Amino acid sequence: MSGNQEHPNYPSVDQSDRTVPINLRQTGDPGIEMLVSTRVRKSPFFHKSFQENGAWRCTVYNRQYHPRGLVEPEDGGAMAEYDALTNAVTLWDVAVERQIRVKGPDAEALTNYVVTRDVTSMDAMDGKYVILCNEEGGVLNDPVLLRPEEDEFWFSISDSTLMQWLQGVNVGKNFDVEIDEIDVAPMQIQGPLAEDVMVDVVGDAVSDIPYYGLMDAEIDGCDVLISQTGFSGEKGYEVYVKDAHENAERVWDPVHESVVDHGGMQIAPGHHRRIAAGIMSWGQDLDHETSPFQVNLGYHVQDDKEADYIGKDVLETQKEQIENGEYPFTHKLVGLKMAGEPIRDYAPDFWLISDPETGEECGYLTSPWWNPDLETNIGMGFVPAEKLQEATDTPLNDEIYENDLDLEFRVHLPDEYAEEPGEPVFATVAKVPFKESVNPSAREQAKLNARTQAESDD
């Protein structure tokens, strides 16, 4: 029975492996206003990014107001911001990436216990993308992990509470550490001219920072930590402003001035570009009930990590099942290329995906956007694992993201994007990332090297 006949939340989409189903009711944008109150924090950059630079809308991320629109719709909106990001350079207020510090003699031991990847090989001034899972193997957070000192780690967190969980983990474990949030606020400088901006504000030494490397510096006399990281797939850096509530604006001004001098601007975080790069957003594409094996993060479950960590037994069992051709989940996240009118703004709903043969709703889109470089709508979405298994002879591991699949679905876009009102559009399962990143992950780089070598051998 079609879900929309009986129940507003579309129970025909199988969510039997979730305790709290995703709310799939299609309600659209109600046109509400954001209430600004003291219950939600303001970024240390708030006056600059909202008041002076004119952010016209925001969301709440990690209990902090977060700008999500700087260019007005009549001036090109988000796609004008995409143009600045991919052709020049942009500045982002990302103080919402709150910094949770673990410091003390046992900092490495505790961090290694809560992170699936082995962090013992990290040296001081190294960074790494990591995930933390609960005992059921669900992804609690996927932060950038920084190690500014031998006995100190910073979790630059995505949109879920982490400090209290880390403190709770240590109850009874008694690792000799301090766990707290620190007064450090990051900004991102992203785009092809990002390195030029950074050289302008801190000098030539910034060019020597490796991908995921760190560097101490000063900007206008204020201490900052710089990493070569970002959320865009473009060349990029993050500047972590120390003593942020005192120094944020002193650091912001010279960085913003250099960005403008290089033809750029402040923009909202580039979700249109991160989708093309296959970078996921916690809360949209994954959450605490999502296994890393469902969302192209299986490589974080490492065979060579002997140390115990939270969720290890469950994750290793899941990995073995998948290698044996037994996929233990109802759905898997895939890339989709979609027909329809260009989607040039955030989706207010998880738009439904249906089976073209039966017409039944069977999945949902998490992150859609129009990509002008590919000249198509792209997105990530959860589709039935059974349909994927029918379309490929390989286990449903991360390898299925390497190529387009001969597998079609229908996506139920709102009428403003549909080719015909009320009718779903065609969608095909596509390779992820859709567009290569300037700095591919180590896993992606190894595959690129192997592909180049194979082509050379031919």
Summarised one tens digit per residue, pLDDT across range 334-349 is 999 999 999 999 999 9
Summarised one tens digit per residue, pLDDT across range 365-391 is 999 999 999 999 999 999 999 999 999
pLDDT at 4: 47
Q: How many residues are recorded in the chain?
A: 458
Q: Is residue 9 very low, low, confident or very high in pLDDT (cuts 50, 70, 90)?
A: confident
pLDDT at 6: 65
Lowest-confidence range among 38-52, 253-267, 414-428, 434-448? 434-448
Q: What is the mean pLDDT of the chain?
A: 94
Summarised one tens digit per residue, pLDDT across range 236-251 is 999 999 999 999 999 9
Q: For the whole model, what pTM was predicted?
A: 0.94
- pLDDT reading at 1 higher than 50: no
Candidates 115, 109, 114, 117; CA nearest to 304 is: 117
Distances from the Cα of 419 to the Cαs of 4, 180, 293, 317, in angstroms?
21, 51, 34, 44
Summarised one tens digit per residue, pLDDT across range 431-451 is 999 998 887 655 555 555 555
- pLDDT reading at 310 higher than 50: yes
Domain ranges of the chain: 1-33+330-458
Summarised one tens digit per residue, pLDDT across range 71-123 is 999 999 999 999 999 999 999 999 999 999 999 999 999 999 999 999 999 99
What is the average pLDDT across 267-288?
Answer: 97
The rounded distance, in Å, linking the Cα atoms of 148 and 297 is 25
CATH says 1-33+330-458 is which class? mainly beta
The rounded distance, in Å, linking the Cα atoms of 374 and 415 is 23
The rounded distance, in Å, linking the Cα atoms of 30 and 21 is 22
